Amino acid sequence: MHHWLMKSEPDEFSFAELARKGKEPWTGVRNYQARNFLRAAQVGDLVLFYHSNCTAPGIVGVAQVSKVAFDDPTQFDPKSDYFDPKSTRDNPRWSCLEVSFHQTFRQLVSLPDLRECAALKEMLILRPGNRLSVTPVTAAEFKAIATLGRG
């Protein structure tokens, strides 16, 4: 069992939308390190859902991996923002997976909250300049954040 943190801009895809739809293919990851994390995820892994690039950045709830990684269809679609002309069907570069809604936090665990928490000092997301949209989280970090979020 692994734990992850995934970032999404709420203007693009919000956690509320995941709650409404129940599940969503997590496509558009175009960074090799993040892709490798996606490929390591297993069904049942819990995912902290982080809203970035918004007025109140932070973790809003928990999702769960419901399908392991498969070829990201958007890489083959010339109409998609995520189209990659260098990727072929014989040798696809990019993977996606499916996430399902799990739980909405009672309160936002904001970026300042995360920075304040001594147990979270090592989190990748808190490093300056970190741009990975998918990062691993330890079980202890997950627990600390879930405790804050569940209030």
Beta bridge partners of 96: 70
For the CB of residue 73, give the shortest distance to DNA in the complex, in Å: 18
CA atoms of 86 and 91, how far apart (whole Å): 10
Closer to DNA by CB, 44 or 115: give it: 115
Does position 61 bind DNA by CB under 7 A?
A: no
The SS3 assignment for 33 reads helix
Q: Which of 83, 88, 46 is nearest to 63 (CA)?
A: 46
Using CB under 7 A, pick the residue from 133, 141, 142, 148 that binds DNA: 133
Binding mask 67-96 for DNA (x = CB under 7 A): -------------------x----------
CA atoms of 43 and 2, how far apart (whole Å): 10
The SS3 assignment for 105 reads strand
Does position 39 bind DNA by CB under 7 A?
A: no
Residues within the interface to DNA (CB under 7 A): 7, 9, 31-33, 52-54, 57, 86, 111-112, 127-133
